[in-house]
Chain A
């Protein structure tokens, strides 16, 4: 399995709380991604980054924000959690060396907002 880590693995939190989902990788990858996986298991890209100080929104609109201050770290923040944010969040990373580079996934964070 790839060296990409996510914490916490499970989080149950009340509405209105601010949360940060952590993602880190030790592979020296330039590119990092956040996907949201709904209960039907479908995956949608919500954020990505090409490198330090680079962040872009993905295909699925999300109220979350991300930052990339260090190469190995790509946290996702929800300022005010709502029940509609309940989902599994997967982080991934890849090298920036050419086309079609394989993305390696973390174990995911399963978020439940009550």
Chain B
């Protein structure tokens, strides 16, 4: 079974600075999908960024980018120019492409606080 590990339970960053959240995963599959989701306090979980394992190019979405290292099974999220609204729980998630189930396996999350 696949597992996702987020080794940083909590992190903090000053507004306007850059922060990197780490994520590692374990799988024997060669093709899969990786996601970062953001859950602000008392608000809806939303997708931050998505990466397809067969694509070598790292995904980017505005201030959010990933460093996808397939051989190392690492999928870190970099947030540039941090804003107060980035304060949230961040979840790394894995989705297998086999079997068509498309079930997400989540890490335990990293609580990010952006300080003014």
Q: Which residues of A contact B (CB under 8 A)?
A: 1-2, 31, 33, 40-45, 48, 56, 58-59, 90, 94, 99-108
B95 contacts chain A at the CB level, 8 A cutoff: yes
Docked pose: A31 CA to B104 CA in angstroms? 13
Whether the Cβ atoms of A31 and B45 lie closer than 8 Å is no
Q: Contacts A43-B91, A100-B102 hold; do A2 and B33 have CB atoms under 8 A apart?
A: no
Besides A43-B104, A100-B97, A105-B45, 16 other A-B contacts (C-beta < 8 A): A1-B46, A40-B108, A41-B108, A41-B111, A42-B108, A45-B104, A90-B45, A99-B33, A99-B97, A100-B95, A100-B102, A103-B104, A104-B47, A105-B44, A105-B46, A107-B44
B35 contacts chain A at the CB level, 8 A cutoff: yes
B74-109 vs A: 1/0 string, CB under 8 Å? Answer: 000000000000000101000101000111111011
Chain B residue at minimum C-beta to C-beta distance from A40 = B108
How many chain B residues sit at the interface, stated as a range, is 20 to 34
Chain B residue at minimum C-beta to C-beta distance from A43 = B106
Residues of A within 8 A of B35 (CB): 102
Within 8 A of A (CB), among B39-91: 39, 43-47, 50, 52, 89, 91
Q: Chain A nearest CB: distance from B77 CB in Å?
A: 16
Whether the Cβ atoms of B91 and A2 lie closer than 8 Å is no
Docked pose: A58 CA to B102 CA in angstroms? 11
Docked pose: A52 CA to B62 CA in angstroms? 37
Docked pose: A108 CA to B43 CA in angstroms? 9
Residue among B43, B44, B111 with max Cβ neighbours from chain A (10 Å): B44
Pairs of residues from A and B, 4 with the lowest C-beta to C-beta distance, nearest first: A100-B33, A105-B45, A43-B106, A99-B97
Docked pose: A108 CA to B109 CA in angstroms? 17
Chain B residue at minimum C-beta to C-beta distance from A59 = B103
Within 8 A of A (CB), among B16-44: 31-33, 35, 37, 39, 43-44
Chain B residue at minimum C-beta to C-beta distance from A6 = B44
Q: Contacts A100-B95, A100-B97 hold; do A42 and B103 have CB atoms under 8 A apart?
A: no
Chain B residue at minimum C-beta to C-beta distance from A58 = B103
